[in-house]
Chains A and B, each alone.
Chain A
Amino acid sequence: MKAKASPSGTVAVSSRQRWHNTCVYVRRHWQLYLLFLLPAVALTLIFKYAPMGGVLIAFQNYNPFKGILGSEWVGFDNFVRFMSSPDFQRYLVNTLKLSVYGLLWGFPIPIILAFLLNRIESKKIKQKVQLVLYMPNFISVIVLCGIVRVLLSVTGPVNGLLNTSINFMTLPEAFRPIYIISGIWQGAGWASIMYTASLSNASKDLKEAAMIDGANLLQQIVTVEWPAIKDMVVIQFILQAGNIMSIGFEKAYALQTDLNLSSSEIIATYVYKKGLLDGDYSFSTAVGLFNTVINVILLIAVNKVVAKLNDGKGL
């Protein structure tokens, strides 16, 4: 029982010796594997990896009664069918526009909020402002979309103010502004937390020193505050830009109406309708897989580009 894991790498150990050491380690620390890690591994294998095997049905004409093994293989037919359909381009463009515009408008605002919060001298006021800014984050997607719908309804207050009776929810051109603005309303304050925390942790003394040295506001921001949050900004940008294709189903679906579909139908909602409402399992899986693959490629690409711009530091 005294066997110690040899300090790896110091002396060249034979592979058999290393295997032996591993066995000893595992036997000695079995609790780490069976009690600590097993639940997570089991959940991951069952609920994450088993469905990954299920993507095979994207290459089949899947029949639920025959199962994966019995269904007919059709190669890339489902992908070809999707990409050659006239709707393909529209859904792809809708998805990209919604998330790219959302990123462009939504990304800088939390950073600006954090800079401003950091400049509020009174702690009490700062806390109250934060209390309000974070609050919308705790409203559910359904309630948020409910609020949007009542405020914008034909008899609602927005139409009352404008003295009009426009049904905004049915206008395709209103969908993206509604989606993006309500997203900023709900999420910008919460997203600023990370920046606020790094700003307040990192910069106090430096900022004061800079101020006493006569640095103006812009100089302070450039030399003290920006370096404090730069890494965070880079990480957040990679994550968000890389996830452009995986824009959420929940909110888009809750803001959809039959009449605004020409701009509100995105790949995620299309996958749901095709798959679960129409029962076209294979086709829907193919569309979903297409989306995931693009997303992974994007994430890797964005990470590479940002790493290049940021002296080799990516994710």
Chain B
Amino acid sequence: MTVKKKKSKMALYTRQDKAILYFGYFLLALFVIAIIVPVVYIIFASFMDPVTLQNKGITFDFSKWTLTAYERVATDAQIWIGFKNAVVYSILFTIISVAVTMLAAYPMSLPDFKGKKIFNTLFVITMFFGGGLIPTYLLINNLGLLDSMWAVILPGAFSVWNMIIARTYYQGIPHELREAADVDGASEMLYFFKILLPVCMPVVAVLALWQFVAMWNSYFDAMIYLNDTAKQPLQLVLRSILIQSQPESGMIADIQSTAERAQLAELLKYATIIISSLPLIVMYPFFQKYFDSGIMAGSIKG
């Protein structure tokens, strides 16, 4: 029976089913194309000469291609300050968040842990109810954290959702492991760091990726808590360039006419989009194996 299985799969479908299936594939292909086309367009557009871009759009007349936009964006100091801040905040946030979450999930995963219900209620309530914007802002202000990077790092560092995921993962680890460690007289700390954590690296990797991406891509907390331009992360710099259409003044200072400035400002947006998105887009395929392994799905279910 199994000999022909591979080839005959498609043959098992009736003609009507095949039609439905191909129509489905067609829709899927459309979706894929819809994702790729804008991205490719922006890549091409970022190499255009500003005047050509505005008047004709993309051309494949390579004499009209320039690196102007990239030079101007890459030589701007504020972009690099933003990058540096984003890297610092994202790494610190990831480390603190994953550490606090993995630690807290451990006692919560033990069947005989006393006080589990109380702590669980304490945590879960915060998933549904919160003080809201102004009370949180006033608190940060009272703590003296305005214009401090800790204002964007600490409030979201402990995620209940991620704790639940880590807890579910721990619960999937065979109990014998802990019982063996208990017999050997290993302390909780020793067992956790030497035995449990090493087998939980997949969930650590997934949570780390999530938290890093979340911090790297967010702008709201930075917008309300960090006014000092030297402390602003990349997304805030991008916001003024892309959303408010106010490129950093150094990028267009040498251009005299307003029309040319406007054209250049538009072009700079394309290069900025590419430069700022590149790091994550390049990094993410290396994590893809974790996406499909069902870690996330399996854990979310619990």
Contact = CB atoms under 8 A, between A and B. Distances in A.
A52 B13 CA distance: 58
B187 A31 contact: yes
Contacts of B281: 135, 138-139
Interface string B85-111: 000000000000001110110111010
Contacts of A52: 129-131, 135
Given A40-B101, A150-B266, A143 B285 contact: no
Given A52-B129, A296-B129, A150 B27 contact: no
Given A47-B136, A254-B239, A272-B133, A131 B25 contact: no
A170 to B, nearest CB: 13
A250 B280 CA distance: 20
A211 B35 contact: no
A93 interface: no
B154 interface: yes
Nearest to B126: A48
A94 interface: no
A201 B293 CA distance: 9
A264 interface: no
Name which of B24, B130, B269 has the most chain A CB atoms within 10 A of its CB.
B130
Interface stretch (A82-90, A100-108, A153-161): A153-161
Contacts of A292: 129-130, 132
Contacts of A275: 133-134, 137
Interface stretch (B67-75, B215-223, B249-257): B215-223
B175 interface: no
Interface string A205-221: 00010011000110000
A106 B45 CA distance: 30
Contacts of A5: 112, 114
Contacts of B104: 36-37, 39-41
Contacts of B54: 155
Contacts of B136: 47, 51, 54
A32 B17 CA distance: 57
A22 B112 CA distance: 11
Given A142-B238, A200-B294, A231-B301, A150 B273 contact: yes
Interface in B279-302: 280-281, 284-285, 288, 291-294, 296-298, 300-301
A150 B69 CA distance: 15
B291 A134 contact: yes
Contacts of B260: none
B172 interface: no
A71 to B, nearest CB: 12
Contacts of A31: 187-189
Contacts of A40: 100-101, 103-104, 123, 158, 163
B294 A130 contact: no
Given A37-B107, A151-B38, A54 B138 contact: yes
Contacts of B133: 271-272, 275-276, 284-285, 288
A47 B272 CA distance: 34
Interface in A35-51: 35-37, 39-41, 43-44, 46-51
Interface in A133-178: 133-136, 138-143, 145-147, 149-151, 153, 155, 157, 160
A43 B42 contact: no
Contact of B301 (A43, A44, A146, A232): A232
Contacts, number: 287
A38 to B, nearest CB: 9
A130 B128 contact: no
B235 A140 contact: yes
Nearest to B213: A138
B104 to A, nearest CB: 4
A47 B189 contact: no
B12 interface: yes
A247 interface: no
Contacts of A64: 138
A272 B225 CA distance: 13
A172 B279 CA distance: 34
Contacts of A139: 217, 277, 280-281
Contact of A143 (B107, B266, B276): B276
Given A54-B134, A141-B217, A160 B42 contact: no
B103 A135 contact: no
Given A140-B277, A157-B41, A194 B297 contact: yes
A299 B103 contact: no
A192 to B, nearest CB: 10
Given A146-B243, A217-B17, A249 B220 contact: yes
Given A116-B25, A281-B138, A292-B129, A197 B277 contact: no
Contact of A140 (B20, B154, B216): B216
B121 to A, nearest CB: 11
A217 B13 contact: yes
Interface string B43-60: 001000000001001100
A299 B31 contact: no
A33 interface: yes
Nearest to B235: A142
Most chain A C-beta atoms within 10 Å of own C-beta, residue among B122, B123, B138: B138
A25 interface: yes
Interface in A45-63: 46-55, 57
Given A142-B243, A143-B273, 11 more contacts: A26-B114, A32-B113, A46-B139, A52-B131, A57-B138, A112-B24, A135-B281, A139-B277, A193-B296, A216-B16, A271-B133
Cβ-closest 4 pairs across A and B: A51-B131, A54-B135, A146-B242, A197-B297
